[in-house]
Structure 1
Amino acid sequence: MKINRLFILFIVIISVASAKAQVGVVSVKMPELGKNDTIRVAGTNVDGEMIPWIPLNEVVIYGYRIFKTPADRTAYNKLRYNVMKVMPYALYAKRRYEQLEKDIALTEDKKVQKKLVKNCDKEIKDMFNREIKELTITQGQILTKLIDREVGRTTFDIVKETKGGFTAFLYQSVARVVGHNLKSTYNPQEERDIESIIISSGFYQ
């Protein structure tokens, strides 16, 4: 019985060794190189033939939009102009508040945190006083939605977190007088035109 087991074990070892030897002698056909082939690329062994390849950036193809009426085209072009006008401000707010959160996380000193918030608030105010104050009501409405899209919080929530609930209430009251709503949220399904404009704008390239 022991002899049979040893014999079977011997057969298995021989078979495995033979299989490894066969794998070892499989030749791989390499691509022929030309005199100008000097760039190193990745390669994949496909059935014994080495296939060179390089990764490519994603290519997004957009369909050509057909408008029902000239008025629809005009309205879309106007919307695109307004989105492109305010999108840089939304991105600036996103980057600035992300930096603020990182800076606050690095210190437990309440005075330092308060100073960081004050400096951030001043930068945002300076930007508003310098550029954003000239925005139209429509552009302001779009901006509040885009801030929610980029930051993940409404403008009202941001003011409430940095300046307190009472200040946020005052800001909201003033905003409502001129047709703004700091609590505006962004829904990609409801704002499909805006979402399409942003994606095709090149802001994220």
Structure 2
Amino acid sequence: MEKKPYTIKRLIALLIVAFNGIGITLSAQVDSGSVDSLLHKSAVQEDTVIIFQYVKDGQVLDATLIDGDTIPWIVLDEVLFISEPTFDDDEARRRYFYLKRKVMKVYPYAVLAGNKLDSLNLRLDSLTSRREKRRYIKEYQEYLEERFEPEIRKLTHSEGQILCKLLYRETDMSVYDLITEYRSGWTAFWWNVTANWNDISLKEPYDPENNEEDKLVENILQRSFTQGLLEERVPFYPPQVEE
């Protein structure tokens, strides 16, 4: 799932440095009769710009020749840019750090639930009997209740709402839809009624692009991942097919 904002998939940078052992310009090293031996067969020439490949120390590298100047370039690894939040006043700063504390507290629950759901779906894919699937789903429900219920009962209403949002983040489904899918719509209805009494919505999506609080939550997560404070979950369902 391509769901994380602020990520630039590939960053292409031109590293303007001289070739070690080749020289600054092509014309200084080879005459017109030997150019073909230097250019790769796939070289592209447009006016005074030539894009070509060369071999150095056993590696095939890329470069661009612009008006006689040789410019080597490489494709860098993925780079993640995370903006640092700014605050208008001390109250906004305090709210941010309260939110951060809550996110750090409930994200591990979302990770465990997401991983367990991936395992459940992998197992269901291998079952053909509807009866076996119902039995396995029941075991999954019992696991969640045994593992999470005592601790979730201790969460505040706002922590419960953040957990619902993070479950959406990790599964691409709202808690309401998850209950509908793996239990029944009737059960989901009553769970949502109970949640509403506690000021929690099971239907609300996680939308960091348009929702300001969700945007802050995502910022907190991304900064925590890069700082090693949290480990980001890597979904394993559906299985990735290698091309």
Give the structure-1-normalised TM-score.
0.72
- Check whether the contact 2:83–2:219 (CA below 8 A) recurs between aligned residues: no
Cα distance change on mapping 1:42 and 1:78 into 2, 3 Å? farther
- For residue 65 of structure 1, report the CA deviation from its aligned partner: 3.1
- Which of the residues 98, 101, 105 maps onto 2:125? 105
Q: Which amino acid aligns with 1:125?
A: E
Partner SS for 1:72 = helix
Matched, 1:146 2:166: yes
Asked which structure has the greater CA Rg, the reply is 1
- Cα deviations by residue, 1:88-129 (Å, 9 ceiling, x for unpaired): 111222211122112111111112101110111111111222
User: In structure 2, what is the Cα distance between the partners aligned to 1:196 and 1:163?
Assistant: 33
Paired residues for 1:44-63 under 5 Å = 44=61, 46=63, 57-63=77-83
User: In structure 1, what is the Cα distance between the partners aligned to 2:77 and 2:120?
Assistant: 32
Give the structure 1 partner of residue 222 of structure 2. Answer: 199
Paired residues for 1:1-205 under 5 Å = 30-31=56-57, 42-44=59-61, 46=63, 57-188=77-208, 189-190=210-211, 191-202=214-225, 203-204=231-232
User: In structure 1, what is the Cα distance between the partners aligned to 2:56 and 2:103?
Assistant: 52
Q: Which amino acid aligns with 1:204?
A: E
Say how many residue pairs are matched. 174
- Cα deviations by residue, 1:134-178 (Å, 9 ceiling, x for unpaired): 111100011111111211111111111212122222212222222
- Cα deviations by residue, 1:43-97 (Å, 9 ceiling, x for unpaired): 41658x9x897x7643434344331111110000011111111111112222111
Partner SS for 1:44 = strand
User: In structure 2, what is the Cα distance between the partners aligned to 1:64 and 1:178?
Assistant: 32
Partner SS for 2:205 = coil
Root-mean-square deviation (CA, aligned residues, Å) is 2.9
User: In structure 1, what is the Cα distance between the partners aligned to 2:182 and 2:120?
Assistant: 10
Partner SS for 1:184 = coil
User: In structure 1, what is the Cα distance between the partners aligned to 2:73 and 2:169?
Assistant: 41
User: In structure 1, what is the Cα distance between the partners aligned to 2:76 and 2:37?
Assistant: 34
The answer for unaligned runs of 5 or more in structure 1 is: 1-21, 32-40
- Check whether the contact 2:165–2:174 (CA below 8 A) recurs between aligned residues: yes
User: In structure 1, what is the Cα distance between the partners aligned to 2:86 and 2:37?
Assistant: 61
The structure that is helix-richer by fraction is: 1
Cα distance change on mapping 1:87 and 1:44 into 2, 3 Å? same
> Percent identity at matched positions?
26
- For residue 130 of structure 1, report the CA deviation from its aligned partner: 3.4
- Check whether the contact 1:42–1:52 (CA below 8 A) recurs between aligned residues: no
The structure that is strand-richer by fraction is: 2
